[in-house]
Amino acid sequence: MGRYLRPASLAEALAAMSAAPRVPLAGGTDHYPARVGVSPDEDLLDLTAIPVLRGIAEDETGWRFGAATTWTDVIEARLPPLFDGLKAAAREVGGVQIQNAGTLGGNLCNASPAADGTPNWLALDAEVELASAAGARTLPVGAFVLGNRRTARRADELVTAIRVRRPPGPARATFVKLGARRYLVISIVMVAAVAIFDRAGRIAAARVAVGACSPVPVRLPALEARLVGERPDPALVEPADLAPLAPIDDVRGTAAYRRDAALTLVRRALAGLAA
């Protein structure tokens, strides 16, 4: 028979996970839809009563987003322009109901190719903080999300936070999402971009990530390299920059369309960085 645990402390949670792995549960917005009409026999670990997992903390090194921070928390937080892309994504996740319950950690751990958080984290060069009774470790987001619904999380581990380092200069971020309707829509393609500028207003470093066009959202290194020293300009984007993408045909769109739309969205993301 399944057992449900809702600990009030992280230590308790990790102890439980080390005793026997459980299915973590946060906002439930990915969990329950996968269980319509079935009630699987599983042990659950509800993370929502653990205060340290929720909230956004800032220090001189950067920001720490607790894994159980909701999308609404992100929308309502005071954050610098570095997070404009993340905020834009938060406003477009599901509807308000989903934003109120769904969490950053759940979105990342669910590892959907269309997770709107992931390209943002890639563009933010974020790190995933994992904890288990045996200790903590961090992984770059790119090393954490391994494939469609696959992550590097060990069965006894929890994601505790996502961390973003403070950029060395002024930064701007943007996120553009393409869906077939206005609300409640899973992305056909989405693009997140972050640029850090030098004193002259030229790009010192840029990261551009595309989602829903490969099993895991990916960055575009060729483009990122070309942007350095430039001002954001859509004309800098070349079709060959999209080589890392491997889109598929599905009910939301064809592979050819995804590739074509991704090019347009990457250009628009750059235009967004210029604005």
Ligand X SMILES: Cc1cc2nc3c(=O)[nH]c(=O)nc-3n(C[C@H](O)[C@H](O)[C@H](O)COP(=O)(O)OP(=O)(O)OC[C@H]3O[C@@H](n4cnc5c(N)ncnc54)[C@H](O)[C@@H]3O)c2cc1C
Select from other proteins, ligand X, none the partner in contact with residue 201, using the beta carbon and a kind-dependent cut-off of 5 to 8 Å.
Answer: none
The DSSP call for residue 114 is: T
Find all residues with CB under 8 Å of 89, minimum gap 6, and list them: 116, 117, 120, 175, 177, 190, 192
C-alpha distances in Å from residue 51, one per residue of 10, 20, 72, 108: 9, 23, 16, 19
Which residues on adjacent β-strands are paired with residue 130?
Answer: 137, 159
Q: Does 93 bind ligand X (CB under 6 A)?
A: yes
Of the candidate spans 80-88, 91-99, 136-144, 248-256, the one that interacts with ligand X by CB under 6 A turns out to be 91-99
Q: Does 106 bind ligand X (CB under 6 A)?
A: yes
Cβ atoms within 10 A of the Cβ of 198, count? Answer: 14
Find all residues with CB under 8 Å of 80, minimum gap 6, and list them: 171
Q: Does 184 bind ligand X (CB under 6 A)?
A: yes
Q: Which of residues 73-132 bind other proteins (CB under 8 A)?
A: 91, 94-98, 100-101
6 to 45: interface string for ligand X, x by CB under 6 A? -----------------xxxxxxxxx-x------------
Q: Does 37 bind other proteins (CB under 8 A)?
A: yes
The runs of H, that is alpha helices, within 54-94 are: 71-76, 84-92
Here the tokens at position 133 are: 């009774």
Q: Which of residues 53-72 bind other proteins (CB under 8 A)?
A: 72
Q: Which residues bind other proteins (CB under 8 A)?
A: 1-4, 6, 25, 27-29, 31-33, 36-39, 41, 44, 46, 48, 72, 91, 94-98, 100-101, 178, 180-186, 188, 251-254, 256-257, 260-261, 264-265
* Residues forming the site for ligand X (CB under 6 A): 23-31, 33, 47, 67, 92-94, 98, 101-103, 105-107, 109-110, 115-117, 153, 158-159, 184, 186
